[in-house]
Structure 1
Amino acid sequence: MLAIADFILGKDTIRAAYRNLAFGEKNQLGIPGLIAWLFLLPLSKTRSFKTMIRKSAAKVRPMLVTYNKAGIDLSMNSILDLPEVVVVQTRVKTVNVLVPAFSIETMSAGFFGVFQIALMIARQGLNVRLVLFDNFYFDRDVFHRNLQRYPGLERLLDEVELDYVGDRYLPLNVSPHDSAVATVWYSAYFARKIMDTIGGGPFLYLIQDYEAAFYPFSSLYALADATYAFNYQALVSTKPLLEFMKAKSPRVAALASANKAVYFNNACSAAMPEKADFLAKHAGKTKKLAFYSRPTVNRNMFDLGARALIDAWNKGYFDTGHNWELYGMGIGDVEIHLDARRKITQLPRMSLGEYEEKIREFDICLSLMASPHPSITPFDMAGVGAIVVTNAFENKAADYFAGISPNILVSAPDVPSLTETLRLALSRVDDLDGRFDGAVNMNYPRDWESVWTDEHRALVRVLFGSAPGKASPLSGGNLVERHTFIHPNVGRQAKHPFGDDIP
């Protein structure tokens, strides 16, 4: 009978009617499908039909997934499909700072470090070029215009060259004496290619986290971890990250002992408060807590933080006689329900200026980071007088934060410890004098002019040599009429490779 129905109505019609009866799928059956459905209806009541359905439901239908060279290269951040590098004898000696894909509207704090290092090197008299090597949308005029919103970066494009080679249409032209700066793990492969093309030598590796840990044990983990054995010297973001990397990588340990791997502190965004303004802002009954809420970024431990806040709320720790307002800051449109009536309000993403103004309102901040890097948010918040709850991790411990500000409380990364540390933070919220002193005396740089020391400058001079004279910011590269480019794969890497975003 089924064979006759197949012949008259067609296999697809019979299949659609069958799936409607068996699995409740809503299909547009039409007249032929309705006839098939009526034909199958009596059969659906039989035991053999029901047995067939159970077997059909249990049967695994493997989906064929195809791979090719281009797709696999994309999945590995194109480290095997790097731009061509060509030596041009007439090019001026240049330090090539390799910049991954970014969006200027939501640029992360990691990029501030990249661009500020480019400026620091340029101000040693060296010619510096930002090399945009990822395939993503970029418009130089929009970039320049938006840089005016970031203090200290307004004149970036007046002081450095800029070259986009992400489309792979033209090679990156280098002089025989060029150098490179890797700024994210997969750019280390391009830095190595540049140095090999001109005859070898170390590049400068800007290490702002142990980036292999961004991935589960996998191909990308192996590829990222391998870069720490390359030929380089290093600038490492924060002391605990450098200490972690020394224990993790024999190469980093050897470099550090020779002063060829040194740490720096990324400037935070905490403007020094005036005491009268601080007291007036925080003396009232309304108090505010900020949770650095980034559920899409695993190392920010969203689940731990959210659960600790829920526990603290339901244990009555917020019953301090104040009117508490709780906010989420970060990435993602999320709601955290503290109980049946109260929830945390997620703030919209902000510009840097809006962020710097907003953080002055907060009395407590919960900011977590499953990394030896402390992140910058604790210093932003402690520096404006908030009590910060953060976590220990590996060698990142309470003594490190105590040397920066007493406004930072450190917890083990588990729910009971975080809940108890929140209780301690809440007990200190009315100590406005102590909070203000902890902010004013914070031992952490608030601007990039305070970041760089003679140690950093000496590393740059020794590695890159003497200045050859400056090139024009638009000369000698590929940036002529192709500084704006849109590719079908534009979304592939338009995510932030670095750790911390402006909320």
Structure 2
Amino acid sequence: MSLAVASVRPSDQVASRVSLIVPEIKAEAIFAGIRTALEVSVGVANSLELPLRIFALWDEPNPRASASIREFLRDEFGLSRWAEAEVLHVSALTGLAVSADELWIGTHWTTVHPLDVAARLNVIRPDRVIYLAQDYEPGFYPWSTEFAIARATYHAGFRLVVNSEPLAAYLRDTEQLDVDPALVFAPSLDLGRLEESAANRRKYAQPSVMFYGRPNKPRNLFAIGISALKLSATSPAGSGVSYSSVGESHATVALSGTTTLASRGKLSWQGYFELLSNTDVMFSLQHSPHPSHPPLDSVVSGGITVTNELAGTRAALHPRLLTAEPDPTLLGQRLNDAIEMARSSEPAGFDSTFITKLGAPLTDVVKHASALVA
């Protein structure tokens, strides 16, 4: 699909739209990164009073799913009813007549690379592309073609809108990019559901630990996490603690002679928040500058989080966000600290104020970005 965008036919006779390209979109799996991309795109479309069009790079959306996604955009993000969104497969771009002033939004390097190819061929204008950067994606790969192309997308001359100040700082330091501070936003959490989760928290006789376990995502450090959990479960602090894993299905893991880690796989959006309200300690590792939501969700909703440190960006965020270098022994000790905190204290209330340390409100950044491309 590298030539997908390059095959469009720019025309002065076609009305301008906001065209978002995402890797995939499924009505039942609109989480974190995709959810943020949709929220940004709806905000830009509403600000500029333009229709929104969404192209999926991989699976082709079916008509029923497309209708559900349009309803989701209206209910969750306030998409204007006059700005009905189309949801299409990226193949629909082949030969498609688009405005010469079309505004393109890409997120994840696989969607930005086709935009880069089109810009190099003078089919689209680089100043009409917003690149929503949500992680340092070359780090997803060994040094390879994918690594090189992912890096190249940051230097395509597109307008960078960056999810969180730690990621912006990493892009400045690693790629020497001039990231506009006014285009760096704090992670867009589902604060309404998190406030509800906080209200539903109760203190139980024995603490519970939720592990964000994703063995097929190397940056989530699954093996290190399992080792840390075993050290915790076999220590006095881990006695009587219940452990569960979410995010991706995997085999049950024996943590000690009497304790297992059961995988609940990928939860529904609502199911995740319900489990969050019944979990004392979130154990979530992310060895990239991506502003991972589970650690923040836990703290905002009154829980305790243990995560790995990365370039000194996480330790000072909140007293209930405990960090250690990605070493099983150190993380196991922090898990024990978190378990003892849960035993000795009542659930904390809703607290989202610390999120402002990570960037400006998303609505402010969207308005600023929209004004720059208007």
**TM-score of the pair, normalised by structure 1:** 0.67
Give distance in 2, aligned partners of 1:274 and 1:265: 18
- Whether contact under 8 Å (1:147, 1:153) holds in the other structure is no
Matched, 1:440 2:335: no
SS at match of 2:138: helix
Match of 2:189 in 1: 267
Match of 1:238 in 2: 164
2:311 pairs with 394, 411, 427, which one?
394
Q: Displacement, 1:411? A: 1.1
SS at match of 2:65: helix
- Whether contact under 8 Å (1:86, 1:171) holds in the other structure is yes
Match of 1:452 in 2: 362
CA shift digits 1:282-326 (9 cap, x unpaired): 1x313221011111111111111111010111122213xxx4221
Q: Displacement, 1:164? A: 2.4
Match of 2:371 in 1: 461
Q: Displacement, 1:343? A: 0.8
Question: RMSD of the TM alignment (CA)?
Answer: 2.7
Q: Quick one: structure 1 residues 164 and 220, their matched pair in 2 at CA, closer, same or farther if it must change by over 3 Å?
A: same
**TM-score of the pair, normalised by structure 2:** 0.88
SS at match of 2:329: helix
Give distance in 2, aligned partners of 1:138 and 1:277: 36
Give distance in 1, aligned partners of 2:67 and 2:78: 8
Give distance in 2, aligned partners of 1:272 and 1:392: 26
Match of 2:61 in 1: 138
CA shift digits 1:361-403 (9 cap, x unpaired): 001111000111230001111122221101111242312x23x
Give distance in 2, aligned partners of 1:235 and 1:291: 30
CA shift digits 1:23-71 (9 cap, x unpaired): xxxxxxxxxxxxxxxxxxxxxxxxxxxxxxxxxxxxxxxxxxxxxxxxx
Match of 1:355 in 2: 272
Matched, 1:100 2:10: no
Matched, 1:298 2:218: yes
Counterparts of 1:57-96 in structure 2, within 5 Å, are 78-80=1-3, 82=5, 84-96=7-19
- Whether contact under 8 Å (1:83, 1:133) holds in the other structure is no
Matched, 1:408 2:332: no
- Whether contact under 8 Å (1:289, 1:363) holds in the other structure is yes
Match of 2:341 in 1: 428
- Whether contact under 8 Å (1:135, 1:167) holds in the other structure is no
Give distance in 1, aligned partners of 2:261 and 2:70: 32
Q: Report 1 or 2 for greater relative contact order, CA contacts < 8 Å, sequence distance ≥ 6.
A: 1
- Whether contact under 8 Å (2:46, 2:80) holds in the other structure is no
Q: Unaligned 5+ residue runs, structure 2?
A: none
Match of 1:228 in 2: 154
Match of 1:192 in 2: 116
Give distance in 1, aligned partners of 2:179 and 2:55: 28
Give distance in 2, aligned partners of 1:173 and 1:407: 52
**Partner amino acid for 2:229?**
L
2:229 pairs with 309, 312, 319, which one?
309
Q: Displacement, 1:140? A: 3.0
- Whether contact under 8 Å (1:185, 1:224) holds in the other structure is yes
Give distance in 2, aligned partners of 1:276 and 1:454: 28
Matched, 1:324 2:247: no
Number of residue pairs matched by the alignment = 367
**Partner amino acid for 2:369?**
L
Q: Displacement, 1:426? A: 1.4
Match of 1:55 in 2: none
- Whether contact under 8 Å (1:119, 1:160) holds in the other structure is no
**Partner amino acid for 1:187?**
T
Give distance in 1, aligned partners of 2:305 and 2:125: 49
SS at match of 2:224: helix
Identity fraction in percent:
20
Q: Quick one: structure 1 residues 358 and 453, their matched pair in 2 at CA, closer, same or farther if it must change by over 3 Å?
A: same
CA shift digits 1:48-102 (9 cap, x unpaired): xxxxxxxxxxxxxxxxxxxxxxxxxxxxxx3256561101322112222222223
Give distance in 1, aligned partners of 2:72 and 2:39: 15
Give distance in 1, aligned partners of 2:305 and 2:21: 34
Give distance in 2, aligned partners of 1:154 and 1:334: 40
Matched, 1:181 2:105: yes
**Partner amino acid for 1:408?**
L
Q: Displacement, 1:159? A: 3.0
1:378 pairs with 292, 295, 298, which one?
295
Give distance in 2, aligned partners of 1:93 and 1:397: 41
Give distance in 2, aligned partners of 1:165 and 1:273: 36
Q: Displacement, 1:453? A: 4.1
Give distance in 2, aligned partners of 1:301 and 1:338: 17
**Partner amino acid for 1:339?**
S
1:216 pairs with 142, 155, 160, which one?
142
2:255 pairs with 319, 324, 338, which one?
338
**Partner amino acid for 1:423?**
N
Q: Displacement, 1:271? A: 2.2
SS at match of 1:429: helix
Q: Quick one: structure 1 residues 99 and 128, their matched pair in 2 at CA, closer, same or farther if it must change by over 3 Å?
A: farther
Q: Unaligned 5+ residue runs, structure 1?
A: 1-77, 466-503
SS at match of 1:124: helix
